[in-house]
Amino acid sequence: MTSESKVFGNHSGDVDSFEISAARLECDCGWSGACSGAGIEWFDELYEVNCPLCDTRFATVMSATYDRVFEAALEGYPDAVAAAERLRSQGIYPQP
């Protein structure tokens, strides 16, 4: 992963949690920051990331499949590396 993080604006659509937690969010209203500083709204299988100031949605985040966890780990997302470790410790490995 490069030191330049991805930038997500409003209505970025479906992204995965690894991408968005490593990204910088920029709202049309002028707010910008990290996912950890944004508003999170949980649903059963997904969550939405919203602007903390104006509540405009940045993105909908789906739960990652096992394959996506391993793929994102290879891409260097720290959360994914940790998640992949947990899966391996449970005997779950990437499909060849």
**Please, what is the minimum distance in Å from the beta carbon of residue 25 to Zn ion?**
9
Of the candidate residues 23, 27, 61, 69, the single one contacting Zn ion (CB under 5 A): 27
> Quick one: tokens of 16?
């995965």
Question: For strand 14-16 and strand 57-62, is the pairing parallel, antiparallel, or unpaired?
Answer: parallel
Contacts 24+ apart (CB under 8 A), 42-47: none
Q: If binding is defined by CB under 5 A, does position 80 make contact with Zn ion?
A: no
**Burial (0-12, 13-18, 19+ Cβ within 10 Å), 25:** buried
Q: Please, which of residues 28-57 interact with Zn ion by CB under 5 A?
A: 29, 31, 51, 53-54, 56
Nearer to Zn ion among residue 54 and residue 82 (C-beta): 54
Q: Which is nearer to Zn ion, 29 or 34 (CB)?
A: 29
